[in-house]
Chain A
Amino acid sequence: MDERLDQFLGLSTALTGFDGLELRGTGVAGEYLRALDDSLPGGIVDELLAAYTKLPEGAEREAAFSKNILDDPKLGPVVQRLTMLWYCGTWTQLPDAWRAAYGISPHDTSRVVSPEAYLAGLQWVAAGAHPPGSAQQGFGSWAVDPKGAASDQ
C-alpha cells in the first residue's frame, strides 16, 4: 500500500466522518491527493500529512488535532477545502490572505475536480440521496420514507 495515501486517508477520515473503506470506495482518493498536491504550493501537503502523523494518541489527540491542524493559520484553510472536496467534489480557491502569506499554485482555482469527483460527493450519501444525474434510486423510490437511509451511519 502507498503510505502517503494511507496517511491522506487517515486525515480524510478524521475530517469527513466517513471511514477508510467508504473513502476508498469512492474511487477518487488518489485523484484527490493529486488535486491537493496540484492546488497547493510545494511542500505543504507533506507538512500537513506530517502534522497529522505526529498527533499524539489518546486523550490529547483531539485537542492537538484542533491546535496543530484545524486552527493552524496555514493548515486550517487547507483542510477545510479538503473536507469540502470530499463532500462536493469541488476545490475552492484559498483566501487571498492565505495565498499572500503562503504562496500560490497556478492550479488553485475553484473548480469541479472531475466529473467522477462530482459523482463521488459525500454530501449525497450524508443526505440519503444521490448525485443528480447519476446513481439513480429507481422508479418510485422517491415516494418512500427516507429515514432509514439518512440515519444509516
Chain B
Amino acid sequence: MTNNETYDVVVVGAGIAGSLMAKFLTRAGLRVLVLEAGAPSAESFAGYTQHVEHFFGALSKGPESAWPPAADAPQPDTGDLQNNNGYFIQKGPQTYGSTYSRTQGGSTLHWLGVALRMLPEDFKLRRLYGVGRDWPLEYKNLEPFYRKAEYEIGVSANVEDQRYHDLSFAEGYDYPMERVPLSYSDQELAKKVNGMKVDFGSGPLGLTVRSYPAGRNSVPRGNYLPVTAVDRRPDGTLMPTYLGQRCAGNTSCTPICPIQAKYNAGKSLAQADRGKLQVLAQAVASKINIDTASGTVQSITYQRYDAAGHTVHQATGRVYILAAHAVENAKLMLASDLGGQSNLVGKTLMDHPALYAWGLAPEPVGAYRGPLSTAGVEDFRAGSFRGAHAAFRFDVGNDGWRSTTGAPDKSVTGAVTQQKLFGSKLRQYLAATLPRHVRFSLAVEQLPDPANGVSIDPNSRDPLGNPRPVIHYRIDEYTLKGMVAATKVYQQMFKQAGIADCTGSSDSLWFPSVQYGSTTFHYHGMGHFSGTHAMGTNSRDSVVDGYQRSWEHRNLFLIGSGSFPTMGTSNPTLTLAALTIRTAEHLIGELTA
C-alpha cells in the first residue's frame, strides 16, 4: 500500500531532532511527513496528565515510569538492565546503562534539561590531544546554531556564568531567559568549595559550583515568551495554555515535568505549519528502499499499528531524514542492509558512564526540593590531561539520594524496620537527616571505540518482526582513569564541605559495574547515546558529512547525536538541536532553490 500523498521530506521520528526539522521545513513551505513509532498520547494536556498519574502510581519512579512502551514499538528500560532481559540484547563485556523512549516527543519528555554547549576543544581532540577523532566542524561554525537551538528549546542561563574553557558567545548575546536560581544546597556547597584546589595528578586545579544552562522556563529576557504546556485536542485544535511559564520546582524533571515548564519536543512540533505537515503516529519505519544502482532512497516502508493489528505502507518524498534516535537510526539502516562500504553504521556507540557520589551534609541543605539539579562543576571538562584520561563534569543534585538509594522511601524503610523507630522519634530522625542528603553525578567522557556499537540479530525480533538491537559495550582505560580522577575530586570536595561520604552504602540501589585494578566502579548511563553514524570529512571513515547527509545515499540524512564523532562532556541535546537546525537551513536552501 502506498501513501498517495507526495512530500518534499519524509522524517522518521518525532523526538527533538524530527520535531525541530518538521518545524523549520514546514515554515519554509516544504511538505513534510513525520513517521513516529510511538503514540501521540502526550500531545493533549489531558493525555499528558495521564502520564503524570501513571508516574504517581508507579512503584519504581525511574525515567520510564511515566512512559510505558507500546508493545509494537518496544524500548529499553532501566529495570531490565540487571537481568539483561529487555529490548536490548546486551553482549557486554559491560552493560550499556542508558535507555530512551519511543513515543511522540521522544526522550525529551523525560530529559533533565541540561543544555550545555560543547567546548571549542571538544571538536578537535585528535589534533590537540591525539585521542578520539576530530569533527568536520569547529565550535565557531556551530555557535550561531547554538544560539538558535537555545531559543528553540528555551534555555535559561546567564552568559556571564558560561564563559569558561574558551566558550565564546556572539557580541551582545544572552540566553532567552535568566538563569534558574541556584538551590540553597548549591549555595551552601559553593560557599565551602568555590576556589578550592583539587589535584588528581595534573597539579592543583581550581573549581567552582556553577549554574548550568537549562531547558526550563525562568524569567524571560526582553520580549522572549516562555513556551507553555502543549494542548492539541483530538480534533487538531491547538489550545492556548498558561501553565508552565516558570519552573515551579516540581523536583520531577525526570521522568515528567507535570507543568511542562521544561522543554519537550512536543513544543517544537506544535509550532510547525500544520498545513504543510502530516504526522503519523504508531507508524514504525521498518525498511529503507534504495535504487541499487544510484544508492538513492526511493521510499521508506512503515508499519501502522493499533490494537487490531498492523498494515504495511510506503512513504515517498524527495529527501528522507532519519531522526529516530542514535540506536534506532542504526538499527533501521542495518535492517535495510545499508551498513555501507565503510561498515561504520552502528559502530562507536558512546555514552557518559556516570558515577554517583552521595553523602550527608553537616547541616540541612533542603534536599528534595527544586529542579532535580541546578548546578554543576565544569572545571574538568577541559585540560591537557585529556591526552591521558577522560574529562568529566559533575551534576550537583537537589533530589537527595533518590537515584542512589531510593530515598526517601528507603530511608523510611530502614528507620522503621532496622532502627525500629516510630512516632515522633521517627519523624524527628527523618526531619534531621533527609534535608541533609547530597548527591553528585560524575559523568565521564567516553571516546569512540570500534568495539562498541549496535548491530542487529535477525533471529531476535519484536512483535512487528523488526530486529532488536544488539549492544556491544566496553568501558576502556581512558574512561576508567577519568573515573579515578573524578572520584578523587568528589572526595576532596566532600571533605572540604564537611559532607560525610556515604557512597556505596549498603542500601545502594543496584548499578552496572566495571572493574579497574582493585577498584569496582558502579556506574549508570546518562541516556547520551551517540556516535552510531558519525560525521566526518570522507566516506571511508564516516557515515555522514558535516550536514549529516549520508555519503552513500545522497537524498538520505541521519540526524541526531548518532552523528557525533566524539561527545566531550556535555549533554548532547543542545548540540544535536544545533546540528539539526544547521541541516534544516542547508536543506531549505537546496529544496527551495
| Min C-beta distance of A109 to chain B, whole Å | 10
Whether A101 sits at the interface, judged by CB under 8 Å, is no
Q: What is the total number of residues of chain A having a CB less than 8 Å from a CB of chain B?
A: 47
Q: Contacts A123-B434, A127-B430, A132-B250; is A84 near B413 (CB within 8 Å)?
A: yes
**Chain B residue nearest to A95 in the complex (CB):** B417
- A63 contacts partner chain B, Cβ-Cβ < 8 Å: no
Please name all residues of chain B whose beta carbon is closer than 8 Å to the beta carbon of A58 when the two chains form the complex: none
Main DSSP-derived SS at the B contact region: loop
Given A92-B413, A153-B431, the answer on whether A133 and B423 have CB atoms closer than 8 Å is: no
Q: Is the CB of A126 within 8 A of B251?
A: no
Q: Is B520 an interface residue (CB 8 A)?
A: no
Count of residues in B whose CB is under 8 Å from the partner chain: 56
Contact A136 B256 (CB under 8 A): no
Task: For residue A84, give the distance in angstroms from its CB to the closest CB of chain B.
Answer: 6
Once the chains bind, are A136 and B422 in contact (CB under 8 Å)? no
- Judge whether B55 and A88 touch: CB under 8 Å: no
- Chain A positions 91-143 with a Cβ under 8 Å from a chain B Cβ: 92, 110-112, 114-115, 118-119, 122-124, 126-130, 132-134, 136-143
Cβ-defined partner of B184 (8 Å) among A90, A132, A133, A142: A142
> What is the minimal beta-carbon distance from A68 to any residue of chain B, in angstroms?
14
Q: CA A123 – CA B251 in complex, angstroms?
A: 15
Q: What's the least CB distance linking B215 to chain A, in Å?
A: 16
Query: Are A14 and B413 within 8 A (Cβ)?
Result: no
Give the residues in chain B near A70, CB-CB below 8 Å: 420, 422
Q: Is the CB of A146 closer than 8 A to any CB of chain B?
A: yes
**Which B residues between 400 and 427 are near A, CB-CB below 8 angstroms?**
400, 402, 408-409, 411-413, 416-417, 420, 422-427
Residues of B within 8 A of A14 (CB): 422-423
* Contact partner, A90, options B52, B374, B409, B434, Cβ 8 Å: B409
Q: Say which residue of B187, B248, B412, B424 sits within 8 Å of A88 (CB atoms).
A: B412
A58-89, CB under 8 A of B: which get 1 and which 0?
Answer: 00000000000010000000011001100110
Contacts A127-B434, A132-B252, A143-B187 given: A137-B56 contact, CB under 8 Å?
Answer: no
Is B258 within 8 A of A133, CB to CB?
yes
B251 touches A118 (CB 8 A): no
| Chain B residues whose CB sits within 8 angstroms of the CB of A114 once the complex forms | 57
A-B CB pair tally, cutoff 8 Å = 166
**A17-B369 Cα distance, complex, nearest whole Å:** 23
Contacting residues of chain B (235-270) with chain A, CB-CB under 8 angstroms: 246-252, 256, 258-259
* CA distance in complex: A63, B34 (Å): 69
Contact with A along B149-181 (1 / 0, CB 8 A): 000000000000000000000000000000001
A114 to B57 alpha-carbon distance, docked (Å) = 6
Contacts of B259 in A (CB 8 A): 136
- Asked if A123 and B430 sit within 8 Å, CB to CB, the answer is yes
Say whether A15 contacts B422, CB under 8 Å: yes
Which chain A positions have C-beta within 8 A of B428? 17, 153
Chain A, Cβ-Cβ closest to B407: A123
| One of A80, A83, A139 near B248 (C-beta < 8 A) | A139
B435 contacts partner chain A, Cβ-Cβ < 8 Å? yes
Highest count of chain B CB atoms <10 Å: which of A90, A137, A143, A147? A143
A150 within 8 A of B: yes
* With A17-B425, A142-B398 as contacts: A133 and B250 at CB distance below 8 Å: yes
Collect the chain B residues with CB atoms within 8 Å of residue A133's CB. 52, 55-56, 250-252, 256, 258
Contact with A along B477-489 (1 / 0, CB 8 A): 0000000000000
A72 to B397, CA, bound (A): 41
Q: With A and B bound together, what is the CA distance between A88 and B415 in angstroms?
A: 13
Interface-located stretch among B12-20, B111-119, B359-367: B359-367
A17-B423, A115-B56, A147-B364 given; A140·B417 CB < 8 A: no
Indicate if A57 sits at the interface (CB-CB under 8 A): no
Report how far A83 CA is from B425 CA in the complex, Å: 13
Smallest CB–CB gap between B472 and chain A, Å? Answer: 35
A26 to B458: give the CA distance in the assembly, Å.
53
- A17-B427, A87-B412, A127-B367 given. 4 additional CB < 8 A pairs? A15-B423, A123-B411, A126-B431, A129-B251
Complex A-B: 16 CB contacts under 8 Å: A87-B416, A111-B59, A115-B57, A122-B427, A126-B427, A127-B434, A128-B369, A130-B251, A132-B251, A133-B56, A136-B249, A139-B218, A139-B247, A142-B366, A142-B369, A143-B181
